[in-house]
Amino acid sequence: MRLLDASKGMIELWPNKYDEVKGVKIYYRITTYSTEKDKLDRIAWISTHGDLVSLTGQHKDFVMKVWGDNTDDYYTETRIYGGAYMIAKGLLMNWDGNVTKKYFTVGDEIHLDVPSGTITMKILELKWAPPQYDRILLEKVKVDYEIVLHDPPNLIVTGGLPYYDEPLQVFLKGSEVYDRQQPLVSVQNPYEYTYIVEYWNDTNNNYDIDGGDRWEKESTFNDKTTSDSEFDLKVQDLPVGLYRVRIEGTDYWSNNFYVILNPFDSFSGLPIETRRNYRDHYWLADIGGNHGCAKLVGIPYWICRAFPNRFGATKLRNHEHDMLLTVASIWKEHKHPVNEEVYMIEQFNTFLAAHMDRLKGTLPPSDIIEYIQKIKSGGDSPIGDCDGFAVFLVALARTSGIPARCVYGHGGDGTVNGGGHVWVEAFYDGEWHVWDP
């Protein structure tokens, strides 16, 4: 159907299936905009035959269907519906919601509420078709209507792990150790919406959200209908991946948030305070303490004491780079558990080539599997940027379910320190072990 064009004054809008014999033209008189923001006043005939009728053109959730008949008099059992879902670039009526009045006649007012705004209609005239058999059919309805468009709902997902900054929101799948397991969804201009969760399908396998990708509804999440301005959204059962919240049937969605692996599952038998302590050790990576060394629980005091102030610790980590590596390492098979390290290495092959050299300029190995095999063999360790290597190794360990962290400061080997050094510590056998090939 044609969109409305307010610049032409009196215009015609024809249904897609217009028929010269049976069809009915729909006439719109478009008045000037009022001084009130986004407030429209119009008069229209709404046909009861043929396609759905859009009163606003661009706002597809303002779609109406008038239907009904009566066998006794000129009162109708017609219902007016408002709202539609977008299905394969078409419109599908939302028959279950926004039914405003079962019986109406001339002079009645009808109100429709949909996510983009509110419509108020006054019934001016009912036009009846010639009787067919024993029924009187309603042909069309003339209405005087007013539309007030709402500001778009602003959905914000907050919460998550405490040591990653905006705009990244990160949640541990099934976490029992973080103080807040549920992200808080805040809604500006609340309305009784139905919320769904969508996951990112990286169609091009390039770890970059682009035009070829799809956002698909997450079937394991139970849709939530609420008019609350804030509510919790459980993430315990969501598979690992990148998500957003959408108001169903609309183009309103939230910021993106990550759900990543929980490395603490193997510690589930430990007391809650112990697990929280592990959590802090796992995520915290800060600079400070005596003589500029890394202030991180588990760093022996003699390391900090051994280096004078003149070395000056250097904070090397880039939060977004660290997060991107971590997520990329566990991303490709969104619907399936992450496998062993060989599977993860395969995912890093192209990713490292595109990203690692951006950090410090060190070229990545031509074959990442050979690179890892060298490390595992105990032979000559490959030489590379310590920051990029540490970030990679932490992501590799975390993906395999091993708690790991980057440590920033000055290590025991003066040949690799310079103005600062980065190495990795992994937690197993009840303590933190240094990984610094």
Give the rounded distance of the alpha carbon of 382 from its chain centre: 39
Q: Are strands 170-172 and 257-260 parallel, antiparallel or unpaired?
A: parallel
* DSSP state string for 274-289: HHHHHHHHHH---B-S
Mean pLDDT of 324-338: 38
DSSP letter at 76? Answer: B
What is the per-residue pLDDT for 286? 34
Using CB atoms within 10 Å of the CB of residue 235, give its burial: 0 to 12 exposed, 13 to 18 middle, 19+ buried. Answer: buried
Higher pLDDT, 389 or 90: 389
* pLDDT-wise least confident of 127-141, 307-321, 384-398: 307-321
Using CB atoms within 10 Å of the CB of residue 271, give its burial: 0 to 12 exposed, 13 to 18 middle, 19+ buried. Answer: exposed
Task: List the Cα angle 256/261/265 in 5-degree steps.
Answer: 145
Full strand arrangement of the beta sheet holding 184-188: 154-158, 184-188, 230-232
- pLDDT band for 190, please (50, 70, 90 cuts): confident
- pLDDT band for 126, please (50, 70, 90 cuts): confident
Mean pLDDT of 301-321: 33
Report yes or no: 194 and 235 within 8 Å, Cβ to Cβ: no
Mean pLDDT of 31-40: 48
* pLDDT-wise least confident of 60-64, 88-92, 122-126, 183-187: 88-92
Residues 6+ apart with CB under 8 A from 357: 363, 364
The CA distance from 279 to 257, in Å, is 20
What is the per-residue pLDDT for 293? 35
* DSSP state string for 314-341: -----HHHHHHHHHHHTTSSTTS----H
Higher pLDDT, 40 or 167: 40
What is the per-residue pLDDT for 144? 80
* Other residues' Cβ atoms within 10 Å of the Cβ of residue 241: 21
The CA distance from 341 to 349, in Å, is 12
The CA distance from 349 to 57, in Å, is 47
Mean pLDDT of 334-352: 38
Q: In this prediction, what percent of the chain has a pLDDT beyond 90?
A: 1
- CA-CA distances (angstroms) from residue 215 to 120, 210, 251? 34, 11, 12
Q: Please provide the average confidence, as pLDDT, over all residues in the chain.
A: 58
**pLDDT tens track for 55-100:** 555 555 566 666 555 444 444 445 555 555 544 444 454 444 444 4
Mean pLDDT of 272-293: 42
Report yes or no: 392 and 403 within 8 Å, Cβ to Cβ: no
Using CB atoms within 10 Å of the CB of residue 107, give its burial: 0 to 12 exposed, 13 to 18 middle, 19+ buried. Answer: exposed
Residues 6+ apart with CB under 8 A from 17: 23, 50, 51
The CA distance from 142 to 125, in Å, is 5
What is the per-residue pLDDT for 414? 46
Q: Could you give the domains of the chain?
A: 6-149 (no CATH), 154-260 (2.60.40), 266-435 (no CATH)
SS3 content of the chain, % helix, strand, coil (to 5): 20, 30, 50
Please give the model's pTM, rounded to 2 decimal places. 0.48
- pLDDT band for 181, please (50, 70, 90 cuts): low
**pLDDT tens track for 135-171:** 666 777 787 877 777 777 889 988 776 544 444 577 7
Q: Which of 123, 116, 122, 19 is nearest to 74 (CA)?
A: 123
Residues 6+ apart with CB under 8 A from 78: 48, 66, 67, 68, 69, 104, 138, 141
Backbone angles phi and psi of 414, in degrees to 5:
-65, -15
* DSSP state string for 42-54: EEEEEESSSS-EE
pLDDT exceeds cutoff 50 at 365: no
pLDDT exceeds cutoff 70 at 250: yes
pLDDT exceeds cutoff 70 at 192: yes
pLDDT exceeds cutoff 70 at 397: yes
The CA distance from 434 to 296, in Å, is 13
The CA distance from 286 to 295, in Å, is 6
Higher pLDDT, 213 or 334: 213
Most confident of 175-184, 204-213, 223-232: 223-232
Mean pLDDT of 405-419: 52
